[in-house]
Amino acid sequence: MTDLSPTPEAAPVAATDARGRTAELHAIREQARRGPSERATEAQHAKGKLTARERIALLLDEGTFREVEPLRRHRATGFGLEAKRPYSDGVVTGWGTVHGRTVFVYAHDFRIFGGALGEAHATKIHKIMDMAISAGAPLVSLNDGAGARIQEGVSALAGYGGIFQRNTRASGVIPQISVMLGPCAGGAAYSPALTDFVFMVRDTSQMFITGPDVVKAVTGEDISQNGLGGADVHAGTSGVSHFAYDDEETCLEEVRYLLSLLPQNNRENPPTVVTEDPADRRGDSLLDLVPADGNRPYDMRKVIEELVDDGDFLEVHERWAENIICALTRMDGQVVGIVANQPQSLAGVLDIHSSEKAARFVQMCDAFNIPIVTLLDVPGFLPGVDQEHGGIIRHGAKLLYAYCNATVPRVSVVLRKAYGGAYIVMDSQSIGADLTYAWPTNEIAVMGAEGAAGVIFRRQIAEADDPEAMRAHMVKEYKTELMHPYYAAERGLVDDVIDPAETREVLIRSLAMLRTKHADLPSRKHGNPPQ
């Protein structure tokens, strides 16, 4: 229930001159900065949560925050609201810098009305969102609110509508990052879902459309708030959250790191840094990391570490759809997005979730001018009734659509297996990859040799005196004819077969050449991607 107890307000200063009025201003500002009471602050800290201003101080460069409308107060009446009109109305808005670049921010103050959104509260958020879009700078929301302010009725709901509309208008124009630091229930959860990235903190943040009490009343299922919509649930099961951390300090530091990898807006390129990692550094360990035997798993993350600057990358959706890796990193100081099959999980197959995960990442990279490197080791799409009935066709088409629609530089490397439709979908040359390379361990084919031989030579195998010996012979013949490492290169389907140890240098030189790439899409309002 929202606390409607009166809030002490700054005593008016009896002054008529400028100095007296200025002193009055400072007193009011100090009251707004302190918040409702020390007891409310202590209660927030007792929950393991920071206050809105403490969070902003961690997010932004020291001393750079400039607040907008700190003295805003609601004008609502009824249900005791007229007796409580705190400054800020429960949300702190403004701008500052992160690593010297402008970032806009709004942060719910749970100490005031439980961070619930009312008309004045929403108007402040609308204004800062409009400013971020106009200025062409990222927007970070620090969410810790109890939903709509029930006492203000439909006006509060309309406030959410204004936020959703601006989220959509800003999509693909400026980076939008939602940081979940407390509860987020009902319609309020749709704003984070419309943004580019969602961060959550374990134990203190939850997101759900209907809470545990409603779920129990309707379905009889008894579940806790964290079990229903906690950080680990959304990071590993639903895919709603891209990142999950144990504490707010680590979470906000990682938000700063992510911002360092993103451009200010869709008209700029991501920031470049100077690196001491040589562009021509050989990766001889790659020859041992990836087994030639296509049935043996390995960790694709170790391959990525070997290729990128200083082995450093930020994995997106690390715990969801683990059979594909999406990561932001740098190569020769330039930001690059990497999409890679993960043979360590489900042999690296594509399925519903991995297709959705990679499609959204490709779209984000394309929107913000981030070149894409694709590392292939994919045996195909995951077979099964659940996958077919779940719509693997339309979900797989999302990834295909995203790649085909992307105009940023795109370079792909086939490390090992690349079979069937999954090979085409994973940014093959035929769907517009600018450059495609392969290692000498590559196997590009319609399907694996065992399956192909069983289809092509089914009659010969069945009629043979020794079917197993005949099968082995035909598998070997198929591999010799159609699956040798140079078959695709001979037909121009890959641009070159390269020494794995030279992959970093080849990628860096290729991306440098493509830096000035320009590609026009047909004139249209927008496409109609598969859903």
Residues assigned a catalytic role: 186-187, 421-422
Instruction: Note every long-range contact of 521-527, with CB atoms under 8 Å and residues 24 or more positions apart, other chains counting.
Output: 521/405, 521/407, 527/401, 527/405
By CB atoms closer than 10 A (0-12, 13-18, 19+), residue 263 is buried
Six token digits for residue 208: 């759900």
Question: How far is it, in rounded angstroms, from Cα 315 to Cα 325?
Answer: 7
Pick left, alpha or beta for residue 87 (phi over 0 → left; psi -120 to 50 → alpha; otherwise beta).
beta
The span from the CA of 138 to the CA of 172, in Å, is 11
Q: How many CA atoms lie within 13 A of 382 on its CB side?
A: 27
- How many Å is the maximal CA-CA distance in the chain? 111
Q: Which 3-state string (H, E, C) describes 207-266?
A: EECCCHHHHHHHHCCCCCHHHHHEHHHHHHHHCCCCEEECCHHHHHHHHHHHHHCCCCCC
Rounded distance between C-alpha atoms, residue 228 and residue 139, angstroms: 28
- Residue 310 has what DSSP assignment? G
Tell me how far apart the alpha carbons of residues 516 and 409 are, in angstroms, rounded to a whole number.
9
- How many CB atoms lie under 10 A from the CB of residue 319? 16
Across the beta sheet with 66-68, the strand order is: 66-68, 91-98, 101-108, 139-143, 176-180, 197-201, 243-245
d(CA 90, CA 95): 17
Question: For residue 59, how many other CB atoms are within 10 A of its CB?
Answer: 23
Q: Counting Cβ atoms within 10 Å, is residue 63 exposed (0-12), middle (13-18) or buried (19+)?
A: exposed
Element at 416 (helix H, strand E) = strand 410-419
Task: Quote the tokens at residue 11.
Answer: 């005593």
**Closest listed residue to residue 422, CA positions, set 360, 351, 372:** 351
Question: Which tokens sit at 488?
Answer: 């695709």
